[in-house]
Structure 1
């Protein structure tokens, strides 16, 4: 408690501006319920960088927490590239205060003698990733909190390859930041070092998106595809309509009520394309215009949700695994037509569908699995320059086509989805039918995600206790099927319960626990790196025989998932 009071008192010192001091004093006088939450710890870098509620305090997003991180990053960059003019590029999304926070970050960099390219208005995360390499920068920053509620903002750091920070740089930078005091932040900008940019990157980025996301679709097929698109008040309105138009798609219906960027996200409870409710307006428009495909993106345009017409001609929202399966299979087919060279690979994460490994084996290409977060896929590409990355994604609605962008990319992925849908329709098939055919070929894999929100100090402790219990009291059976393998990424150990052997996991340590059962089920548990949640990932599978009805197989898998949920009482 004494440490907490010391933290609070520091923010009442002259190091902090008058507005900050006055706001904090009002919180103290009012005995604000969130005062302890605001100061009890420092904001941490998670799987997607630093993300939190905006406000006063060490555990909040504000000019001082971002300023301190930027000062530490500046010190690190200047040390690593001592003989060069260090350059960074900064983008920001539609969130409240993103523009002013981005300006603050730019000023701190410039005050340290670093050249800054600052986008003059909001831009997508994939364009920022692209811009790092396009402008030959040493690092990049994007101000975004993805699909979190309106009170959140965040700060993601990218390195020279256009991918997010990974070891060892992340640990070294965090150590540099932790060693600083708030009084060490240099806020006095050198305006000569700040250059506003926009169209100089926009055009090349759209060109690259069209080049990487187009696959010889005829103009007739493009003209025959009816698309509904919503940016959910986010930044994708800056790139996706332009990319679709340049690629030749003319029949695009934009949800006008959600086209204006707005950090309050007035028409949705959550700007998350994973959620059916977020795409309600788009679905209504899709029904009205008879759309073949509906696409919605999150605020910074790195993730996309897709709805397509099913066998009953109803619009159905696909989950991230299903979208990824269809996209990867399509890309594999394109590479197969050209002829595999033997150095190709696809990639996904440890909590995504096991179906991808089966598909990779069928095509004879390598499958690589990483921890949750696209930074690890980017690291794979960086660490294996002799290999060709075809594409890959993760269950949380992120996908990447090729390696010209080194993060989730809803811009190019939207075009890819339209290419798949257009070509399928031209052949009398559909995006949904492709998915069904893959289930018949590779087996039916079905996944379900449970996210439990646990806010604040007590929530963090509860999440810690849940995982502690799972480790100390490991499951022996799941839904009547014996557990045969347990992977603990925190200890980097994999325990085979059938022969009682233990092997090492060759991935960085992470607080993830995964159970595998005899009947092919998989249950994973991990705390979110960007939200106050603990997540449980359930995956079940069943071989599909020649005379099987897919609807019956799906029903059996749904029942198995419900049984697992009921038995483990995750909800």
Structure 2
């Protein structure tokens, strides 16, 4: 929303070289802004005040609900990895703020290490990124792994199944589902304010289904927390209590504390939730199945093709537009509506045929909504040579998840072949997001 202003600030003369005395620069900025808009970050005392205010905001938000210490069931135990980043002291204080027993830090990954020695790519989303933490957790009898990325603004979660001895590594959408339902049950349903939640358009539609059933507002945004956070602030100004903003790339904002992704407060919420479920003899995994029973099975397949030629991406987008006569069928699957966020924009579902989300000729996205409940979305990465797809199928409440997943697998093959023509366009084999 403010990209142009950010770019302008970057190219200003005084910002083209490092500040020699950044502390003095910050103090000058403070003075110019009345002393209240920017803390003197060179001052440890001011840093402490920021941290104190943050954890107090968590306490004031309603997120801290306490844990049941009377249950005969074994409480969950946690292993935590900072993934060679800065999260450990903040995660410890988060647990303390939420009134939770301490976790076990993964020793080999608990301190900042610019070489990220024990993990090839320090992103909890990446396959294998949690292997070290899960091995440590299993060795020490921990039920759940909590993982922050190096700057601790994102959160990964994995849970050990003692029956089959396997780990469940939750997707961002699954964590978002757990958070959304928990925040509604513990805060939202008794809120005097109208409640809202929001998510990026490529995230699961389960929070939308939850909102339709429970009666809270759900809004989707473009990808990225600059859009999610901006919309959350607007909703707050309209009088809504915004309980959750999330994106499928494991970014979560809980309780309206800050309008940005925050792995530290989300970590405390997940751990509190786990204590509540384990006290009832449940797990995060089993509770997720209960959520699907309430709102429907949501199965997704997110991935990408590598494409080094931007002209090919443009060609694929134009093929999907079909000269403005968007396809009403893909293979044997009937299309219900199409949304195109390329400029000037189009949405066949809207009365005026205009999309509610912002449009862009430089970063277009095309969405096909199918009559069987499937949603397929396509966009090019803005930073990597990737053509991304996000395909989700909603089953009915109580429907067998494996059956929904099989239907989705069949649809994905047809959709990717019919709309992207991978061989013809020289796309390199898809990989999971």
Short-chain TM bin: 0.7 to 0.9
Residues 215-261 of structure 1: CA distance to partner in whole angstroms, max 9, x if unpaired? 23224679822111111111212311221134333341211111121
Instruction: Evaluate the alpha carbon distance shift between residue 493 and residue 68 of structure 1 in structure 2; reply closer, same or farther with a 3 A threshold.
Output: closer
The one of 419, 426, 443 aligned to 2:296: 443
Shift of 1:475: 4.4
Shift of 1:493: 3.4
* 2:77–2:103 Cα contact (<8 Å) kept: yes
Instruction: Evaluate the alpha carbon distance shift between residue 492 and residue 308 of structure 1 in structure 2; reply closer, same or farther with a 3 A threshold.
Output: farther
Q: SS in structure 1 opposite 2:147?
A: strand
* 1:61-210 matches, cutoff 5 A: 68=11, 71=14, 104=19, 107=22, 110=25, 113-115=28-30, 136-137=36-37, 195-197=42-44, 198-209=47-58
* 2:177–2:207 Cα contact (<8 Å) kept: yes
Aligned residues: 407
Task: Specify every segment of 5 or more residues in structure 2 that has no aligned partner in the other structure, as ranges.
Answer: none
* 1:225–1:251 Cα contact (<8 Å) kept: no
Instruction: Please tell me whether residue 333 in structure 1 is matched to residue 188 in structure 2.
Output: no
Tell me, in whole angstroms, the C-alpha distance in 1 between the residues paired with 2:119 and 2:377: 30
Shift of 1:329: 0.5
The one of 330, 341, 346 aligned to 1:489: 341
Shift of 1:108: 10
* 2:198–2:232 Cα contact (<8 Å) kept: no
Shift of 1:444: 0.7
User: What residue number does 1:397 align with?
Assistant: 250
Please say which structure displays the higher CA radius of gyration: 1
TM-score (norm 1): 0.64
User: What residue number does 1:241 align with?
Assistant: 92
* 1:66–1:105 Cα contact (<8 Å) kept: no
Shift of 1:464: 4.0
The one of 357, 362, 365 aligned to 1:512: 365
* 1:110–1:194 Cα contact (<8 Å) kept: no
CA RMSD of the aligned region, Å? 3.5
Instruction: Evaluate the alpha carbon distance shift between residue 109 and residue 214 of structure 1 in structure 2; reply closer, same or farther with a 3 A threshold.
Output: same
User: What residue number does 2:393 align with?
Assistant: 540
Shift of 1:264: 2.2
Residues 74-97 of structure 1: CA distance to partner in whole angstroms, max 9, x if unpaired? xxxxxxxxxxxxxxxxxxxxxxxx
Tell me, in whole angstroms, the C-alpha distance in 2 between the residues paired with 1:411 and 1:317: 19
* 1:429-468 matches, cutoff 5 A: 429-454=282-307, 459-468=309-318
* 1:353–1:445 Cα contact (<8 Å) kept: yes
TM-score (norm 2): 0.82
* 2:252–2:263 Cα contact (<8 Å) kept: yes
User: What residue number does 2:65 align with?
Assistant: 215
* 1:526–1:536 Cα contact (<8 Å) kept: yes
Residues 63-117 of structure 1: CA distance to partner in whole angstroms, max 9, x if unpaired? xx996358479xxxxxxxxxxxxxxxxxxxxxxxxxxx9x63864982994249x
Tell me, in whole angstroms, the C-alpha distance in 2 between the residues paired with 1:438 and 1:415: 20
Instruction: Evaluate the alpha carbon distance shift between residue 468 and residue 263 of structure 1 in structure 2; reply closer, same or farther with a 3 A threshold.
Output: farther
Shift of 1:408: 0.4
The one of 132, 136, 141 aligned to 1:290: 141
Task: Specify every segment of 5 or more residues in structure 1 that has no aligned partner in the other structure, as ranges.
Answer: 1-44, 51-64, 74-100, 117-131, 141-192
Shift of 1:334: 1.2
* 1:252-291 matches, cutoff 5 A: 252-291=103-142
